[in-house]
Amino acid sequence: MTHKFGIAIHGGAGTILRSSLTPEREKLYKDALHTALTAGYSVLTAGGSSLDAVETAIRSLEDCPLFNAGRGAVFNSAGKHEMDASIMFGKNLGAGAVGLINNVKNPIALARKIMENTSHVFVCGEGAEEYAKAFGLEMADDAYFYDEFRYQQWQQSHIAGGAFLDHNLQSANASDEKKFGTVGAVALDKDGNLAAGTSTGGMTNKNPGRLGDSAVIGAGTYANNNTCAISCTGHGELFIRAVVGHDVSALIEYKNLSLAEACHEVVMKKLVQIEGEGGLIAIDKHGNIELPFNSEGMYRAMKSSDGREVVAIYK
């Protein structure tokens, strides 16, 4: 018997209003989501693993300059890119995460190498880049990551946000806290194995060294064959404090909630209570898929073996 299988992806959540996207730009985003979705789903159809499907879909989103991950990563307050990514396999609770990396073309591929080929789970900065080179992963120079739109966005934010260390150190990013451009994917394969992955360029004009939930196993990324696979996007600090990915899983495993109930509890109640804006994508071991968000919009798509397919942006 073949299991039901499926995949869901996201390209970030936040204040995405219909009025702010031209029809042409909306089509660009939807086409990019569809391309990544199809690439990941094809892996599953061919009998590939959920890990391969997740990595394939995220690579496609990382290679697209529209999303804040890989090629389209935003600039931090120092005018540099610092990218984070993580991946987890539900079969054995294997996990890999990287943070604050530069010049690695596909951060999700490095996270997977950390998981599969080292004794570590979480490696940051130059140490992680050394691994990327040692593993022969494709590197890319700064020009590859340069995007005129992101640069202008950073310049505006940098001017509006003031100096790196101001008096209370709180408001530097205030003008940009509503821009969450993470990407992610979750999948269930024909063998019944779940996987999840997330990749991001972080917040525009963020301080150097800041990590969000995308690099944190249990928060932005979690997968467990007993329950579900989760990838988050939103205000990372709140998602870390709420341990979002593992909380959804625990509500299913320990409180017997359905995937839909667990997602609703975490995204629409617990996160809202602490003003944690954003959303997540989730698939459970039965192949159910949820795409909840408490923000204005979330770039999202899903496709499952029962014939359902969604590509959407707004509520």
What single DSSP character describes residue 225? T
Determine, following the binding rule CB under 8 A, whether residue 79 of this chain makes contact with a copy of itself: no
Strand pairing partners for 224?
Answer: none
CA–CA distance, 227 with 113 (Å, rounded to integer)? 24
Shortest distance in whole angstroms from residue 43 CB to a copy of itself: 24
Q: Which of 2, 38, 182, 233 is catalytic?
A: 182
Distance of CA 282 to the CA centre of its chain: 12
Q: Which pairs count as long-range contacts for 15-23, CB under 8 Å and 24+ apart, including other chains? A: 15/178, 15/179, 15/295, 15/296, 15/297, 16/295, 16/296, 16/297, 16/298, 16/299, 16/313, 16/314, 17/296, 17/297, 17/314, 18/314, 21/313
Determine, following the binding rule CB under 8 A, whether residue 194 of this chain makes contact with a copy of itself: no
Q: At what angle do helices 107-117 and 50-62 cross, to 10 degrees?
A: 150
Shortest distance in whole angstroms from residue 210 CB to a copy of itself: 5
Determine, following the binding rule CB under 8 A, whether residue 124 of this chain makes contact with a copy of itself: yes
Q: Which residue number, 68 or 227, has a Cβ lying nearer to a copy of itself?
A: 227
3 touches 191 (CB < 8 A): yes
CA–CA distance, 166 with 27 (Å, rounded to integer)? 40
CA–CA distance, 241 with 286 (Å, rounded to integer)? 28
Determine, following the binding rule CB under 8 A, whether residue 260 of this chain makes contact with a copy of itself: no
Please confirm, yes or no, whether 22 is among the known catalytic residues: no
Shortest distance in whole angstroms from residue 144 CB to a copy of itself: 22
User: Which one of 27, 165, 308, 314 is in contact with a copy of itself (CB under 8 A)?
Assistant: 165
Contact segment (CB under 8 A) with a copy of itself among 13-21, 41-49, 57-65, 235-243 equals 235-243
Contact segment (CB under 8 A) with a copy of itself among 9-17, 86-94, 140-148, 299-307 equals 86-94
Shortest distance in whole angstroms from residue 119 CB to a copy of itself: 5
Determine, following the binding rule CB under 8 A, whether residue 241 of this chain makes contact with a copy of itself: yes
Active-site residues: which are they? 182
Residues found near a copy of itself in the complex (CB under 8 A): 88, 93-95, 99-100, 117-128, 130-131, 134, 164-165, 168-174, 177, 207-212, 216-219, 222, 236-237, 240-243, 246-247, 250-251, 254-255, 274
